[in-house]
Structure 1
């Protein structure tokens, strides 16, 4: 085949929701029934066209496949599942005769309906993005079913662009899938690779016919060694898959990208298949040990950090890309990952301190960096000397700026001892807490947040603009807290929360109240589906200038005789869901945050709050993708949590919460946190975590979620009762808590009240059954 040369500058993906969350707004309007599907699809098309034009204006080529075609209505893994016909049987009715799935059907698979649960959701490698888990069984029928990506390529061609469509690669797609419920116990989705490959070949041919000269297949699963199938099976699958796809008739040229880490032993077999280009992450990964294997292959060198927002060292990036030039057929410059992990444009952040802003590069700035480095690669360093020098000067200014390093904070961290991370005997704590709290069998609670209504958001926005006084804002928040406390008492919940109406985000709220952080106005990043967050920027040494949550929790406690939980976000999650400084080890930064939280917990305890929940939903998220790197991470992450929570009396009950944590992978670390109660996502996976809990011998309180809050459906009393009974198969009655999977911030009040009412009724039903059995 004739191969069009790969462009010297490219990106692997671009933010998908729009600079002002245009796609989010259109989708949610469609889901509410406020607009027809055609209007949502038009909004998506407008965004695709705007993105192509923007990328071309930043220097990427219009006609050389430099611009990726990687948009998505909800999730790129779901897109691939739909494209190959892997739709679960419970949603078979949304599939048309030709295999196509319209926007309504696609949304149904993603979000569920009635008694039909959506696809399970979990973390995308070590990022804060969530993907939908495909369900593959021995009888799953694969076919080239959805032609949406080919239609987008034709749309681009009509607008004068030759773009590069992106799909999840076949090996990663199957490694990320889970077996269907009826699959044999020894079945692995990877067993279906031979059946899947002809479908990929057909899709590739269709994309070529639509006008695509190159197609990007993302294979990030190749950079991790934690797959249950074993590394040998993964490497054999790589050879099998790409031997077949390279030989497929009528295909475009193939770029296989492997972001988030180091290909290591997968590099040689991958390039040996004859793929035209390979994408290597040189930010998280390293130069190949044997670069001679790259002979004859174009290397797309990921030398710009696609996972963080710092401007970086452009001279070092250029050197890394240049080093590959002596071995590869050609070298192209790119970010290390898709830019979906960073916001659109730092120039919009006019409220940020100009010096801080000069240290940052969002998606558009990273595109410009890639273009600069590509010019340096082809024309020589002198051609971009001014840009390289400016980046170096920015790094130097950053290192010397006041607040980046504060001696008193560093001295406090250095003074920590082993005793600062210890709380004493577990049984002694349990006895003291039972006497203090008086909780009965199967206590019910929520994870923390309640729905954020339009009134709450308007009040917060008005206060931020200065249109609502501090006193009036506090009155509005107190009124909402009073309403939430009264609602929980009416529902019959045993442990009450204040509902967090004052919090815009579980990390940003703390960032706004801790020194060493900055927050953005437009820095939205997709988390899952239509949901987006604004990660804060942790740029300097961290400390707590004043109490943050105490007044709100104390007010809630004054309204009810029931125990009230104080709600904090843990140090690991604050790091994971922020853009964190890259000039010191993460463990050092985590201990600074931990000490700030330790001070907050001490003040909550002094105010009479007897339960404090320190959420760590991101504990699994930051787990290194290579098993050899995991012990060091788990050591500092567990220590930071224990430092934050070990300054309290034995009668104060410490909770933590984890979601999408793949419990078995980090069970020892979760146990090591030492929390008195751990709540964890379990509803979408139908209590799969219970087996892990039982096998581990976990000896403290556990609350496996019984209500999936990431879907609008309301689980029935019978469904929740069944989940509680399943939980009791692996957790003793004196340790089991009943709670939703996660916070309720994103849900509406009608569905929330109905679901919680069913949850309490189910708990009461099971309590009675337990008493009868006893």
Structure 2
């Protein structure tokens, strides 16, 4: 049985691309050096897949920043403000990704959003009425030719035109239907160029097809692909979907003359049912996603075998592959030197998933799976009792009642009490939590982990950083302060390290956006808090100032969503276990005198089911209560904050209000403050802090820019309910740009305050 891979991690085994690009951003290397190093990475990745016997290897899945940004360039859909900077090709590319602030001009980056239900972020295309779509980039052609020179046949991968049009933002009167023919012609031109150099297969990724689609959407999809497929050359086209099933458009997809269709049988709950009900054309290949591309647990070969037997009842033209791109899992277990074998045996990262495909391609061709040692060894793993089971924790979940999820005082009453206690000015200023992780901060953590300094020295260094951070914030003039989070490597991994039931990787890095990589911890067993996590640092920070200092925690849903979850218990059970642990920490912070506690739920919407009909039954019915569980025991005087970023929250704004927090900060600047209308339309009760500037870009916002943003916010939000803050934490930013940006934030706020009070 043949095997394929939808996409492969880009950063490299040791995050080579990340470090190289960061040097480029600092001006330490030039574009040619990036090009050479990237070529080596691609070569290594193609050879790795080829050596594991993968038949359908992808090219053009590599990107300097983001595949959607590459597609923007491919289609020549570069907004005029970036063209007018007069930069070279690479400079223009990164201006769209990161913004630009030099003598040539000052432009913000394109908006950035979560890629469906993952922690990966994509750049949002912006299409205006004057934009002429045309084939600009030769990247898919060039990378195919690179692989061909190595003797490796690949299938170039491009984000499909339908997904591009559906995810784009339209700035003028024209909408998707007005661009569809131009977009189709670009893909047609691309296929013709591929044909000239001998490309056999091209892969068009259309994950938008697994979302809720209207008849108008389906008509647009058909119009696009009828134009492409009815005029294309000899290149075979694979329509690749993932993250769900094709329940809204299965028949329409099968009616079109694709040569192959990629279907997700892991997250696609109805994929097998649709296949059995409607059949599959005999003249095409079914690229079957039968092992998880998003989680790190080994596949159960018995389950895969049963699935393939069911698929074979419909078609024998099967290619096996992961359910989605392997971009969402770490590179290899070979880089995990300290992980215990008794734990490690359960896992499969990107490289190991290639091995799984190799083994399954042989096993699944046999009439007797048990004849293979690979199969029997795999099955032994699933017969072993899992480590770290905790019956007491499970009983706590069983004993929860409705009262455990409610605060005793209504929000409007708490609001009055808290305003009297804190006596903050209107438009109180604060930050989201983290401050820049300088070289000294990182060195302190590294030395402690290597045993070069003891715990006492490490803690004293942390306290020194905190002291400087508090003074800096007081000097800038912020109203509500933070301790800077210098003890934290990551907002989720840090908490995981302090909770029983987690295991960790040394090098399990996964790309989140651009050069930003995260190292998700792994929920291996039942979760328990055994000791205070943040109390010491928070109380020390509060002792340094008369201004309130927020206690900073990560919420249970975000901890769950940014971890690799278990597959043997429910998401609800894991969320509530973490919720109890965070509740214990909240209660101790309150007892220690911390009056403002922020419980971040940055990823609340991330795992929201793609289908709206499943939002409550499979997610919100536990996600909202899990957050409420964390703060249900605090007094009305204690102010609970939360933070959310880089998702479209308008659709669940009422559910967010139902979190029963006192203050919520949102990402808003890159989305051009679109959320504030939704806040007004839904009579949002919680006090809010829409981000006034984008921290994922190095550019410094001007005072005037922030003043304008606040004026817009005040047209929709009561001045007594509006907070002023950046979009997100400042961990990844440089200290000079952070200080300048925050000074401008405070200056702008004072100007607006004076106008309001005058």
State the alpha-carbon separation in 2 of the partners of residues 157 and 577 from structure 1: 37
Partner of residue 392, structure 1: 379
Q: Distance in 1 between matches of 2:195 and 2:709?
A: 48
- TM superposition shift of 1:432: 1.8
Distance 1:768 1:740 in 2: 21
Q: Does 1:617 align with 2:611?
A: no
Given the superposition, is the C-alpha separation of residues 571 and 294 from structure 1 closer, same or farther in structure 2, using an over 3 Å criterion?
farther
Say which of 681, 686, 689 aligns to 2:672: 686
**Segments of 4+ in structure 1 off by > 6 A?**
none
2:432–2:729 CA contact under 8 A, matched in 1 = yes
- Counterpart of 1:200 in structure 2 is 187
Selected match of 2:9 from 3, 9, 15: 15
Match of 2:620 among 598, 611, 634: 634
Q: State the TM-score, normalizing by the size of structure 2.
A: 0.97
Q: What residue is the counterpart of 1:58 in the other structure?
A: 52
Structure 1 residues 306 and 600, CA gap change in structure 2 (3 angstroms): same
SS in 2 for 1:540: strand
Q: 2:481 matched to 1:481?
A: no
Q: Give 1:383 shift.
A: 7.8
Cα separation, partners in 2 of 1:44 and 1:384, compared to 1, 3 Å: farther
Write out aligned runs for 1:577-592 (5 A): 577-592=562-577
Please give the secondary structure, in 2, of the residue aligned with 1:517: strand
Distance in 2 of aligned mates of 1:503 and 1:19: 24
1:437 Cα deviation from its structure 2 partner: 1.6
Answering whether residue 26 of structure 2 is matched by residue 26 of structure 1, we say: no
Q: 1:503-524: CA deviations, max 9, x gaps? A: 0000000000000001110100
CA drift of 1:106 comes to: 0.9
Within the alignment, does 1:256 sit opposite 2:242 as a pair? no
Q: Give the 5 Å matches for 1:125-164.
A: 125-164=116-155
Aligned equivalents of 1:202, 1:328: Cα separation in 2: 32
Aligned counterpart, 2:437 = 452
Aligned mates of 1:383, 1:245 — CA distance in 2:
45
SS in 1 for 2:372: helix
CA distance in 1, matches of 2:710, 2:728: 16
How big is the shift at 1:352? 1.4
CA distance in 2, matches of 1:241, 1:569: 43
Does structure 1 conserve the Cα–Cα contact (< 8 Å) formed by 2:432 and 2:728? yes
User: Residue 565 of structure 1 aligns with which residue?
Assistant: 550
Once residues 301 and 90 of structure 2 are traced to their aligned partners in structure 1, the CA distance between those partners, rounded to angstroms, is: 42
Q: How does 1:462-541 map to 2 (within 5 A)?
A: 462-541=447-526
Greater Cα shift, 607-616 or 348-357 = 348-357
User: 1:381 and 1:711 mapped to 2: Cα distance?
Assistant: 56
Kindly provide the CA deviation profile for residues 739-759 of structure 1, in whole angstroms up to 9, marking residues without a partner as x.
000000000001000000000
Question: Counterpart in 2 of 1:420?
Answer: 404
Contact 2:550 2:594 in 1 (8 A): yes
Matched with 1:734 is 720
Show CA shifts across 1:118-137 (max 9, x none): 11000000000000000113
- Aligned pair count? 748
2:345 counterpart of 1:362: no
Post-superposition shift, 1:715?
A: 0.5
Identify which of 262, 281, 284 aligns with 1:279.
262
Q: What CA distance in whole angstroms lies between the structure 2 residues aligned with 1:616 and 1:659? A: 8
Out of 284-293 and 418-427, give the one that drifted further. 284-293
Describe the shift of the 1:305–1:190 C-alpha distance in structure 2 as closer, same or farther (beyond 3 A): farther
Q: 1:4 is matched with which residue?
A: none
Structure-1 residue corresponding to 2:214: 231
Are the counterparts in 1 of residues 50 and 57 from structure 2 also a CA contact under 8 Å?
no
Please give the per-residue CA displacement for 1:315-335, whole angstroms capped at 9, x wherever unaligned.
Answer: 211221232233236100000
- Map Cα deviations across residues 400-457 of structure 1 (whole Å, 9 max, x no partner): 2331x31100111111111111112112211221222221210000000000001111
Unaligned runs of 5+ in 1: 1-6
Alignment equivalent of 1:352, drawn from 339, 359, 364: 339
State the 1:296 CA deviation.
Answer: 2.3
Q: CA offsets, 1:487-535, max 9 Å, x none?
A: 0000000000000011000000000000000111010000001110000
1:448·1:497 contact (CA, 8 Å) conserved in 2? yes
Question: Which residue matches 1:91?
Answer: 82
The root-mean-square deviation of aligned C-alpha atoms, in Å, is 1.5
3-state DSSP class of the match of 1:655? strand
| Separation in 2, partners of 1:266, 1:319 | 26
Maintained 8 Å contact 2:184/2:225: no
> CA contact under 8 A between 1:11 and 1:335: conserved in structure 2?
yes
Of 321, 324, 327 in structure 2, the residue corresponding to residue 334 of structure 1 is 321
User: How far apart are the structure 1 equivalents of 2:651 and 2:12?
Assistant: 35
C-alpha contact (below 8 Å) 2:557/2:604 kept by paired residues: yes
Question: Equivalents in 1 of 2:145, 2:657: separation in Å?
Answer: 53
Show the 5 A alignment for 1:31-42: 31-42=25-36
Q: 1:374 to 1:384 in 2, by over 3 A?
A: farther
Corresponding residue for residue 703 of structure 1: 689
Which SS does the other structure have where 1:543 is aligned? strand
**What are the residue-to-residue correspondences of 1:543-562 with 2, within 5 Å?**
543-562=528-547
Structure 2, unpaired ranges of 5+: none
**Equivalent residue of 1:408, what SS?**
helix
Q: Secondary structure at the match of 1:737?
A: coil
2:203 corresponds to which residue? 216
- In 2: Cα distance, 1:566 partner to 1:753 partner: 22
CA deviation string 1:178-228 (max 9, x = no partner)? 112xx13xx433441122100111112222323321111000000011xxx
Report the equivalent of 1:745. Answer: 731
User: C-alpha deviations, 1:614-640, integer Å up to 9, x for none?
Assistant: 000111111100011001211210000
- Provide the C-alpha distance between the structure 1 equivalents of 2:521 and 2:498, rounded to a whole number of angstroms: 11
1:764 aligns with 2:758: no
